[in-house]
Amino acid sequence: MPLDPQARAMLDAMAAMPSPDFSTLRAADYRAALAAMPGFAPGDAIAAQHDLTLDGAAGPLRARLYRPDDSAALPLVIYFHGGGFVLCGLDSHDNICRSLTRRSGALVLSVDYRLAPEAPFPAAAEDAVAAVRWAAAHAAQLGADPTRIAVAGDSAGGNLAAVACQQLRGSGIALCHQLLLYPYLDCTEAATSSASYRECATGYFLSAAELDWYRGQYLANPADAADVRASPLHQRDLHGLPPATVITAEFDPLRDQGEAYGEALQRAGNSATVRRWPGQFHGFASMQGVIDSASDALDAAAAALRQAFSRSRQEAA
């Protein structure tokens, strides 16, 4: 279908702004430029939130815990923000986390993992695994039910959520769901040959040139792209992973790799639901208050989490 009219208006507004020159762009300058841009709607009202620190792979990491209400032993979602492993943080994804908290009825723990190029691969992947380990060990302290823990993330954060599930398989940490919003799952050159990568290379918010820049910032050694901790789509053994919900966007260069991962999970015998959001581009779920489909997608994501938590409770009974 054609672009959603609200998505088209958003892209037109972006096209009127200066475009970064990715051949010379520095990460610090890009972060500063994004920080100066106006934000989107703040997300849903929740009972409380507070910042804390948790143990990352190489030291303490900032995190933010969102609480939907005052109930005890709530399910927990560990959330990893997008930004190409280079940009964004707790504040940029505050609205997604608040909305998922309210709509899923779960605690959401947003993790401020280390960013490239200052901390290149595998820092973010190692932090994601460490954060899940920490959250599972401290579930009672967080007010969470240790039998109902899920991971979630958008874009690069979807990569980290998938990596955490793969790396923690067999660890004794029983994750009950993985929610992947338009995930970035393949850092290899093979990704550039997909239909969506070619068809959506320019003009749809996330460009092929920007993806190349992210990959260059994240991978100090280009050969690391083949490591499944960088490209979880290339994991050959996908059996025994948590049920998954994969939401992709029609006009996203990453669309095909997200859908390929969902299909690969299914072939390996896992439960996986793949839903392509029509008329939308990469990152749309953050654009609450501007694009109505953002709220619709978060409704669907929260419903998937609620169902996963309900199944987990029934299985534990």
User: Annotated catalytic sites, by residue?
Assistant: 155, 252, 282
Q: Which two tokens stand for residue 208?
A: 């092929």
CB 183 within 8 Å of CB 155: yes
Residues 6+ apart with CB under 8 A from 175: 132, 149, 150, 151, 164, 165, 168, 242
> Containing H/E element for 265?
helix 255-267
Residue 146: its H or E element: strand 144-154
Using the CB atoms, write b or e for 18-54: b if 16+ within 10 Å.
eeeebeeeebeebbeeeeeeeebeebbebeebeeeeb
Contact 94, 50 (CB under 8 A): no
- The tokens for 217 are 């910032």
Nearest-angstrom CA–CA distance, 238 and 249: 24
Angle of helix 94-104 relative to helix 292-316, nearest 10 degrees, comes to 50
